[in-house]
Structure 1
Amino acid sequence: MSKGGLFDKDVSLFRSETSVRSSVRPRRVMTFDAILEEVGALGPFQVVLVVLMASSRLVLPCNFLLNNFVAAVPPHRCKVGRWNASAGDDDDDDPTTACEMLAETPSPLAGNRSEATPTTVQCLHGWVYDNSTFSSTIATEWDLVCERKHLSQTINIIFFLGVMLGSLVFGLLSDNYGRRGSLLLSYALSLALGLASARADSYATFAALRFVCGSALAGISLVSVTLCVEWVTSPHRAFMCVIGSLSWSLGNMLLAGLAFLFNDWRPLVVAVTAPLALAVLTWRWVPESARWLLANAQVEKAHVYLNKCARANKRPKLASKDKLEALCSAERSNKSQKLTLLHLFKTPELRKISLVSGIAWYGTAVTYYGISLNLGGFGLNVYLTQFVYAAIEIPAKLLIYLLIDRVGRRPCLVGTLVLTGTCVGVNIFVPKDMWQLRSAVAILGKGLSEASFTTIFLYTSELYPTVLRQSGLGFTNVLSRVGVSAAPLVLFLEEAWSVLPQVVLCAGALTCGLLALLLPETAHRRLPETIRDVETPARCSKGHEEIPLETKNTT
């Protein structure tokens, strides 16, 4: 047989085998990212969404760091009693301290006051406060000083315990009932509770209101980020998350300005809550996540929002819902199974992601707030320190924006956490009289800690599937708030050893940063839609634009 005849026979056999394989090839459907590209993956629609989220996200840092100002303890000393005044003593000459004063009754063994045995007692008539920096705080109004001084910082712990609870509640609400409705609920509750806390007439009432207000604010923190991420494709997630988070830094700087203008704690609480009124008014233009709607088989609503996106981005509308029907058909068949927090730990890859990312969130939060809550000790007033700490976050975010797609999510998270820990560690060995150098290192560490926070928000939203994304973010936020609640307690360790807080923060940042090496990289990969996508990473790999319909399953 000629070589040509043999070759022809091989070609014929190859074509025959290819035809057989094609006939049994499973039917495929487009991914949501491919549909989103049709209507515009990044355009005016997404930019408007970021702007709509800005007014509410400005409020978050103002409330999360509010305790630096409303619970500040200014310099104080005991108020002089009547016995001292009748003796002709001047208040300024009275030998009192912040927590003790001379006993008003002379020793019975002494014949006159000059021969009396000096004895001291705790302040009997209250305190005199230095009002040059703060005209009023909860510490001065309810005398949270001396043996009650820890109560002023306890408010911070109570607030973040509320945030912890809200992270779980709003994570579940958002995954089961939608992003948009959960966002409105968090707006309304945060506004009402924030204004109510400004009128609190006792410490207990204020603490209770701050707890529930923290729970409501957690919803804004979670849902706003998720909405932004779910309306773009892989190449644009960094823009939506990192650039969108600049509102946090602007809110941080706004807090410094508002605290300077309103140095009475009640007007300050009202001022940092007021922007939520604008958020409530603009909520009507906030779109529901079409990605979530399709994951929950709500094709009609998803079609409406996708066409709104197309119109805003000047793209052709989706004339047919066939693609959307095909995309969510598998989810519809499994919708009877209700997903819970337990599903975060039922499969190996999700279990590893939940545990490691949770630890990384804890380390990021305790370091960030450990630095942010320490505004004293650098030779600057608290307003200027707050402003500088906030301003350094902007170049840190822009640097992350430039690196996060080029270098990857995991290296950025590991690198920023390790460098933050290094900065904290360096300050252990810098003498306190070199406050300029200590301030520079602390400010650099603050910027790096914010960079790690920005990275982990985006990173975590990409690690979890759509069907569990808010629950996953809620769980990791709980561990984050454990870290935030622990930050004031870490600062209390200074009473045992002056550098112990820095040692703890340094060790925590380094350990959590290295553990983050166990997480998978998510850069340039499409968002996972189902649990199976997470357990089979190749399904979300770059260029994998189609999913076999027969194998698509939420579990």
Structure 2
Amino acid sequence: MGFEELLDKWDLVCEQKGLSKLTSTFFFVGVLVGAVLFGYLSDRFGRRRLLLVAYASSLVLSLVSAASVSYVMFVITRTLTGSALAGFTIIVLPLELEWLDVEHRVVAGVLSTIFWTGGVLLLALVGYLIRDWRWLLLAATLPCVPGILSIWWVPESARWLLTQGRVEEARGYLLCCARLNGQSVGEEELSQEALNKVAEGERVVQRPSYLDLFRTPRLRHISLCCVVVWFGVNVSYYGLTLDLSGLGLDVYQTQLLFGAVELPSKLLVYLCVRRAGRRLTLSGMLLGAALTYGVRLLVPSGTRAWTTALAVVGKMFSEAAFTTAYFFTSELYPTVLRQTGLGLASLVGRLGGSLAPLAALLDGVWLLLPKLVYGGIALLAGCIALLLPETRKAQLPETIQDVEKMSHQEEEMQCRLNGTEERHSEKL
């Protein structure tokens, strides 16, 4: 059954036509709630366990969605599916980073998002070949099955286990990791006593909560900057997505174009992050997206080729900002609050994404006003990103105290640099 036939069957025509548009809105409401819920729970109960919950619930709820017999049932199941899908989108990358050293974090971060892009491209092909909506939902759900099976080989974060005082489990995973890497580890290096000392220094005194993100000056600064940056990233991303959707392409061509644009953006992120660092890359990509909006204000609306080219370039910049924001935010927060912080940033980001279509309605006031709003928000987010600390060559912080210590170390280093410059100027 095609989508148009479904609208007739569920009486979503004439006065009820607007209900068909609400389905995606409810889905993103679910994503918003899921980001907050899974962010907190994975810091509380562990990454691996919640990742399994996310995959299993996504599979079950998608199957139930495909079997929906009414509009209400479909909307409820899609909303819950959105919550489940948000779980593994915010758990997978931080779990990767918590197992990697400084040198390999960039490669892992970019590589995992390339698989996302591959899924976007594959979805265009699957959607074109399968026109029945029920079978399409089933086909799109199938990747959850190998995801569930792969959990058997996915280790829990040893960093998180140490913060919870579960030393023996952490030691088992670390020894297994050493064997897989062909490294010989002495008993003294990973002895129970040595890990107990590490665990004592990283043990969480109280259960993590969203209030902890604002308790100390440094974490408060990071959290406020991150929510502004994520809001700007999502507004510019979905604003440019709306622009590309209005180029006269069908849904399959649009989906294919989205995936094709994302591939060079990943390469751009990899090169820039390695050379310029996370902060400058994130700020530069947001400023690049803002610049494309600014140039489009000057380009006459009749020049379709220029408009399309600028929209594609802007989408590339916004996608690069999205990719950088994900693993940069994961590196900023300590292990005990990493998922909680990412959940808060994702929540505000989804709010920005939800408001992006509403900003498009401002063209009734002035035709160029939506682009001015999108570009202005991207510009503000790009400037705020410069206030975040750089994490390029920095070890992942484990506790809130680690974040505050890093702040003091940066201040001391800055004071030394200023003192050196003053002495040098006096000599001159």
TM normalised by structure 2 equals 0.89
Q: Which of these residues, 325, 344, 362, is aligned with residue 196 of structure 2?
A: 325
Q: Determine the structure 1 residue equivalent to 2:312.
A: 443
* Cross-structure match for 1:385: 254
The 1:153/1:329 distance shift into structure 2, 3 A limit, reads: same
1:423 to 288, 292, 297: 292
Answering whether residue 142 of structure 2 is matched by residue 274 of structure 1, we say: yes
Aligned mates of 1:242, 1:165 — CA distance in 2: 26
Report the equivalent of 1:514: 383
SS in 1 for 2:274: coil
- Provide the identity percentage: 45
**Aligned counterpart in structure 1 of residue 226 of structure 2, from 335, 353, 357:** 357
Q: TM-score scaled by structure 1?
A: 0.69
Q: Is the aligned partner of 1:264 residue 2:135?
A: no
2:27 partner letter: F
Matches within 5 A, 1:364-383: 364-383=233-252
Quick one: distance in 2 between partners of 1:146 and 1:377? 23
How big is the shift at 1:438? 1.5
* Correspondence 1:474 to 2:306: no
The whole-number CA distance in structure 2 between the counterparts of 1:375 and 1:536 is 45
Alignment-mate amino acid for residue 83 of structure 2: S
Residue in 1 that maps onto 2:400: 531
- Corresponding residue number in structure 1 for 2:216: 347
What residue identity is the alignment partner of 2:275?
A: R
Equivalent residue letter for 2:340: S
Whole-Å separation in 2 of the counterparts to 1:231 and 1:344: 23
- Output the CA distance in 2 between the equivalents of 1:506 and 1:145: 36
- Structure 2: stretches of 5+ with no match in the other structure: 414-428
Deviation at 1:146, TM superposition (A): 5.8
Determine the C-alpha separation between the residues in 2 that align with 1:177 and 1:382.
40
Between the aligned partners of 2:38 and 2:222, the Cα distance in structure 1 is 20
Matched length:
408
Alignment of 1:60-459 (within 5 A): 136=4, 139=7, 142=10, 144=12, 147-319=15-187, 320-332=191-203, 335-459=204-328
CA distance in structure 2 between the partners assigned to 1:164 and 1:137 by the alignment: 30
Q: 1:318 to 1:467 in 2, by over 3 A?
A: farther
Quote the Cα distance in structure 2 between the aligned partners of 1:371 and 1:443.
8
* Counterpart-to-counterpart distance in 2, 1:412 and 1:143: 49
Q: Over residues 82-121 of structure 1, what are the superposed CA-to-partner deviations in whole Å (9 max), with x where a residue is unaligned?
A: xxxxxxxxxxxxxxxxxxxxxxxxxxxxxxxxxxxxxxxx
- Computed over aligned residues only, the root mean square deviation of the Cα atoms, in angstroms, reads 2.3
C-alpha displacement of 1:135 = 5.8
Runs of at least 5 residues in structure 1 that lack an aligned partner in the other structure? 1-130, 545-555
CA contact (8 A) 1:187 1:279 kept: yes
Q: Where do 4+ consecutive residues of structure 1 move more than 6 Å?
A: none
Contact 1:303 1:318 in 2 (8 A): no
Q: Once the 2 structures are TM-superposed, how far is the Cα of residue 160 of structure 1 from its aligned partner?
A: 1.3
SS of 2:326 mapped into structure 1 = helix
Secondary structure (helix, strand or coil) at the match of 1:405 reads helix
Q: Which moved more, 1:357-366 or 1:367-376?
A: 367-376
What displacement does 1:434 show? 2.4
Q: 1:210 to 1:230 in 2, by over 3 A?
A: same
1:446–1:143 Cα change, 3 Å = farther
Structure 1 residues 467 and 406, CA, compared in 2 at 3 Å: closer, same or farther?
A: same
